[in-house]
Amino acid sequence: MTAGTAVRPATGRRLVVVSGAWGAFWGTWSALLPAVAETDSATPAMLGVVLTAVPLGAIPAMALIGRLAVGREYRALFCSVAAMAVAVLALGSVTGLTALAGTLFAVGATSGAVDVCLNAATARHERETSAPHFQIVHAAFPVAVIAAAPITGLARQLGAGTHVVLVVCAVLLFLVGLPLLRTGRRPVTAGDGRPAAGGARRRTLWLLGAGLGALGGCVLVVENAVEQWSVLVLEDLRGAAPALASTAPAVYMAAMTASRVAVRKMPGLRLRRLIVIAAIGGAAGIVAGSLSPSVPVSLAGFAIAGLAFGPVVPVLLSHAGTRDSTGYLVSIASAVSYTAFLVSPVFVGTLTRWVSLPVAMASLAVMAVPLLVGAFAHGDRAEDRAPAERPESMPR
């Protein structure tokens, strides 16, 4: 085995670990929100407004950073992770809602940079190894969220302050980013960088990226709604005990992770078939999860939705990476899909003016329509099959 092939498993592991540390912060942050609200005397409505600073910072950063990282994806990912560590460190020392919003904007921008650089690095790793990695890299994020939230809750219960917890998160982020500096750097070539100037090539890539991102956004709209509203549906409207109701997002994420790992073991699965299955299964799952009067059936519905929708975003990003080696397509798809985190709360919240929350959540089944349209409009080409997995290129 040559030095070039020996580094491949290590590179895959590094990307998985970075994704896990990134997810661990967001799981930690969700568990810290009650303490943050108490410290700043913020009502839920006030805190909700402040939290919109995260996607507002992330979206422009994601749109810009992908093109800057071309040819140096791993180093760009390290810089993004290090910058996020600094922003997280600052987050633990701010007081007042205005300062909190400004710092969250910085956290959102750096997190968005991590998102798109991680996707670009994973796409490059897939091209270099001809093996699927998006599913396992993306699976690490929800696993870390599920683990970090209860650990943070226990730390708070044992007396750890918000500042201490965030310092630990910042140090962890920086440490997991360091090995990326030892990952090989590919020189920038004439074929890298921006798409062909001014021509149809750039417009075509932008439109394709926007289309792939829109399909991914349909999935993320549902994911965000389950994270935000499922506990409320089960606890306040179905009478579930708080401990049981709080498992709903975890059930969704666990199912999502399982399906991502499973799809990675299915070389040759066509993009159209996967999206069709996701659209039908995801729509059925979110309707059952939202409308069933039975708590176990609701949890099963959310699990079905997670199983169906889980592999879609990684597969779309992998497809973008194979279609364009510049990273431009991946960055556009990532940025467009992320707008779902702005659209989802507004969409569901607005619907609740006229219908109940469960009906509003169930209405998200309509996201299956653009998925189905996109699947059949795309066609079913042989080159859109998932790459075969080779043992020597798997992260271990």
Q: Concatenated DSSP letters for 266-328?
A: -TT-BHHHHHHHHHHHHHHHHHHHHH-SSHHHHHHHHHHHHHHHTTHHHHHHHHHHHH-TTSH
Distances (CA, A) of 81 to 110, 113, 224, 324: 7, 8, 23, 24
Q: Nearest CA to 266 among 393, 352, 385?
A: 385
Q: What is the pLDDT, as a whole number, of residue 158?
A: 83
| Rounded average pLDDT over 232-251 | 77
Which of 131, 155, 187 is at the close of a domain? 187
Q: What is the pLDDT, as a whole number, of residue 267?
A: 64
How far is Cα 143 from Cα 127, in angstroms, rounded to an integer? 26
Which span out of 177-191, 201-215, 281-295 was modeled with the highest average pLDDT? 281-295
Q: What is the pLDDT, as a whole number, of residue 396?
A: 29
Residues in contact with 162: Cβ distance below 8 Å, sequence separation at least 6, in sequence order: 32, 35, 36, 39, 92
Share of the chain above pLDDT 90, in %: 27
Q: Got the DSSP string for 42-96?
A: --HHHHHHHHTHHHHHHHHHHHHHHHHTTT-HHHHHHHHHHHHHHHHHHHTT--S
Same domain, 127 and 259: no
b/e per residue, 210-235, with b = 16+ CB within 10 A? bbbbbbbbbbbbbbbbbbbbbbebbb
Show contacts of 283-286: CB within 8 Å, 24+ apart. 283/365, 283/367, 283/368, 284/308, 284/365, 286/222, 286/225, 286/226, 286/361, 286/362, 286/364, 286/365
Q: Supply the CATH number for residue 85's domain.
A: 1.20.1250.20
pLDDT for residue 126 is more than 60: yes
Q: At what angle do helices 368-378 and 200-232 cross, to 10 degrees?
A: 150
Same domain, 181 and 38: yes
Same domain, 53 and 163: yes
Q: What is the pLDDT, as a whole number, of residue 9?
A: 63
Same domain, 243 and 332: yes
Residue 86 Cα to chain centre, angstroms = 21
* Domain assignment of residue 77, yes or no: yes
* Domain assignment of residue 363, yes or no: yes
| Rounded average pLDDT over 194-209 | 67
Is-contact 333 324, C-beta < 8 A? no
Same domain, 10 and 68: yes
Q: What is the pLDDT, as a whole number, of residue 321?
A: 78
How far is Cα 225 from Cα 345, in angstroms, rounded to an integer? 7
Between 379 and 234, the more confident residue is 234
| Rounded average pLDDT over 114-122 | 88
CA dihedral 88, 242, 294, 306 (to 10 degrees): 20
Q: What is the pLDDT, as a whole number, of residue 62?
A: 82
Q: Nearest CA to 208 among 108, 322, 120?
A: 322
* Domain assignment of residue 326, yes or no: yes
* Domain assignment of residue 387, yes or no: no
* Domain assignment of residue 386, yes or no: no
- Among the listed ranges 186-200, 237-251, 305-319, which one has the minimum average pLDDT value? 186-200
Residue 241 Cα to chain centre, angstroms = 29
* Domain assignment of residue 385, yes or no: no
Q: What is the pLDDT, as a whole number, of residue 108?
A: 92
Give 155-201 pLDDT, tens digit per residue.
887 888 889 999 999 999 999 988 888 765 554 444 444 444 445 66
How far is Cα 26 from Cα 267, in angstroms, rounded to an integer? 31
pLDDT for residue 3 is more than 60: no
Same domain, 301 and 234: yes
Same domain, 214 and 322: yes
Q: What is the pLDDT, as a whole number, of residue 45?
A: 65
State which residues form the domain around 113.
Answer: 1-187
Same domain, 130 and 236: no
Give 346-376 pLDDT, tens digit per residue.
888 788 888 888 898 999 999 999 999 988 8
Q: Please count the residues of the chain.
A: 396
Tokens 């918000």 identify what position? 162
Same domain, 111 and 250: no
| Rounded average pLDDT over 382-394 | 42
Q: What is the pLDDT, as a whole number, of residue 25?
A: 92
Q: Which two tokens stand for residue 231?
A: 């506990």
- pTM here? 0.76
Q: Which two tokens stand for residue 73?
A: 């994806």
Which of 187, 207, 236 is at the close of a domain? 187
Q: Nearest CA to 58 among 334, 327, 314?
A: 334
* Domain assignment of residue 393, yes or no: no
* Domain assignment of residue 390, yes or no: no
pLDDT for residue 332 is more than 50: yes
Same domain, 181 and 231: no
Helix (H, G, I), strand (E, B) or coil at 335: helix
pLDDT for residue 7 is more than 80: no
How far is Cα 344 from Cα 356, in angstroms, rounded to an integer? 16
Which span out of 243-247, 286-290, 391-395 was modeled with the highest average pLDDT? 286-290
How far is Cα 211 from Cα 310, in angstroms, rounded to an integer? 19
Mean pLDDT estimate for the chain: 81
Q: Provide the residue type at 96 as one letter.
A: G
pLDDT for residue 302 is more than 90: yes
Same domain, 371 and 334: yes
Give 142-153 pLDDT, tens digit per residue.
888 888 878 887
Q: Got the DSSP string for 120-148?
A: HHHHHHHHHHTS--HHHHHHHHHHHHHHH
Q: What is the pLDDT, as a whole number, of residue 366?
A: 94
Q: What is the pLDDT, as a whole number, of residue 390?
A: 40
22 — pLDDT class (breaks 50, 70, 90): very high
* Structural domains of the chain, count: 2
Q: What is the pLDDT, as a whole number, of residue 306?
A: 93
Q: What is the pLDDT, as a whole number, of residue 150?
A: 81
345 — pLDDT class (breaks 50, 70, 90): confident
Which of 164, 187, 210 is at the close of a domain? 187
Same domain, 15 and 47: yes
Give 58-111 pLDDT, tens digit per residue.
888 887 886 676 677 888 899 999 999 999 999 988 888 889 999 999 999 999
- What are the respective helix, strand and coil percentages of the chain, to the nearest 5? 80, 0, 20
